[in-house]
Amino acid sequence: MIRLGLLGAGRLGDAVAKVWLARTGEEPLVWSRGGQSPAGDEEKRIAGGAWVSDWADALRAQSVVVAVPGRVLLGLAEGSERARMFEGTILSAASSLSRESLRRAFPRATAICIAPFLIDGANSIPIAALRPTGLPDPEWEKAASELYQFGEVDVIGDEEAFARIFLLGASWPTVVLAALQAAADAGVRGLQDETAALGRRLFFRALRSLLSEQPTDTPEDDSSGDAVATPGGITERGLKNIGELSSLLESVFDQMCARADELRA
Ligand SMILES: NC(=O)c1ccc[n+]([C@@H]2O[C@H](COP(=O)([O-])OP(=O)(O)OC[C@H]3O[C@@H](n4cnc5c(N)ncnc54)[C@H](OP(=O)(O)O)[C@@H]3O)[C@@H](O)[C@H]2O)c1
């Protein structure tokens, strides 16, 4: 029996296939709209996958990872007898796809929403999973055992909290990184090319060093600020003038939540 099927061969599908193959030695079944060599693209996608041309053939696997947008999945599954009869596990990474919609599309399957975090590199994919209330232990354990094949798994019980965690793990760091790039630009403004490049390098090196000292597991410990002592209170004056940055970041995050709500299916 084939253990893993995969719907989608984009950024997430590609990472899931690579990590699965590397960690289990098994080829996943793969389906994607554009096929293995989309028109105009000579490079083959997901070389270590067994491609199928009908999306429902991916349901021959015991567990299927959804790596296409939620509405695309619902469009495929709507009216599909094979979706209705599927009794395996659906692991949906589609942002904003509710568990209720998943269950309607795959009424006999064990449907689990997952938030995979690709930022850790290609050898593992840490995952936060929404454990549905009322799901019997054996069904959960079966689904969880497949998730552990990808690396660390954090389990969340509340659907709203899960939606936020979903944004925090992938989308929000990407936006914050864009803000850090803007901060670097502000810092090197007016410098000549070579000096500006040096300035950016030093800035990101300092950031990396601060991040590696950040006590991420104990948020109540706020001692990390001590690491940025500078003579004469230079850092302190900067910190005092940050002003509305927090509310700006809140409104950026709110916009992202609003977009996630628009996409909800
Ligand atoms: N990337 C991440 O870090 C990440 C993390 C968590 C969750 N996700 C979720 O995973 C899903 C895929 O994300 P991604 O980053 O892999 O995106 P992506 O690189 O843009 O890939 C999108 C995939 O969806 C398929 N697709 C798009 N529109 C379609 C349509 N109308 N009909 C059929 N297939 C369609 C594409 O098929 P073709 O290429 O064959 O056209 C491709 O396989 C999204 O729901 C995203 O929110 C991604």
Residue-level pLDDT, tens digit, the chain, 265 residues: 899 999 999 999 999 999 999 999 999 999 999 998 877 666 788 988 999 999 999 999 999 999 999 999 999 999 999 999 999 999 999 977 888 999 999 999 999 999 999 876 668 999 999 999 999 999 999 999 999 999 999 999 998 899 889 888 778 988 999 999 999 999 999 999 999 999 999 999 999 998 887 766 655 555 545 555 677 888 888 888 887 888 899 999 999 999 988 888 7
C-beta separation of 29 from 58 below 8 A: yes
Q: Whose CA is nearest to atom 30 of ligand 1?
A: 72
Residue 123 DSSP class: S
Out of 18, 19, 33, 90, mutate this one to test ligand 1's pocket (max ligand atoms within 8 Å of CB): namely 33
4-157 has CATH 2.40.110.10 classification:
no
Residue 53 DSSP class: S
* Residue 69 beta carbon below 6 angstroms from any ligand 1 atom: yes
Contacts of 235 (CB under 8 A, 6+ apart): 228, 229
DSSP of 209-262: HHHHH--TT-TT--GGGGGG--GGGHHHHHHHTTTTHHHHHHHHHHHHHHHHHH
Spell out the domain ranges in the chain: 4-157, 164-263
Out of 68, 130, 263, mutate this one to test ligand 1's pocket (max ligand atoms within 8 Å of CB): namely 68
Alpha-carbon Rg of the chain, whole angstroms?
A: 22
pLDDT at 121: 67
* Residue 49 beta carbon below 6 angstroms from any ligand 1 atom: no
| 7 CA closest ligand 1 atom index | 43
pLDDT at 208: 92
Strand order in the sheet with 89-92: 50-51, 29-31, 4-7, 63-66, 89-92, 110-116, 127-130, 153-156
Instruction: Give the dihedral of Cα atoms 179, 155, 69, 56; nearest 10 deg.
Output: 160
Q: Whose CA is nearest to atom 25 of ligand 1?
A: 68
245-263 and 159-166 are packed helices; what angle lies between their axes, rounded to 10 degrees? 110
Q: How far is the CA of 12 from the centre of ligand 1 (A)?
A: 7
* Residue 169 beta carbon below 6 angstroms from any ligand 1 atom: no
Q: How far is the CA of 11 from the centre of ligand 1 (A)?
A: 7
Q: Whose CA is nearest to atom 29 of ligand 1?
A: 72
Rounded Cα distance, 178 and 252, in Å: 12
| pTM for this prediction | 0.85
DSSP of 58-110: GGGSSEEEE-S-HHHHHHHHTT-HHHHH--SEEEE--TT--HHHHHHHSTTSE
DSSP of 142-205: HHHHHHGGGS-EEEE--HHHHHHHHIIIIIHHHHHHHHHHHHHHHHHTT--HHHHHHHHHHHHH
Q: How far is the CA of 10 from the centre of ligand 1 (A)?
A: 5
* Residue 95 beta carbon below 6 angstroms from any ligand 1 atom: yes
Q: How far is the CA of 254 from the centre of ligand 1 (A)?
A: 23
Query: Whose CA is closest to 255, among 192, 172, 159, 195?
Result: 172
* Residue 74 beta carbon below 6 angstroms from any ligand 1 atom: no
* Residue 260 beta carbon below 6 angstroms from any ligand 1 atom: no
The amino acid present at 228, given as its one-letter code, is: V
Q: Whose CA is nearest to atom 42 of ligand 1?
A: 10
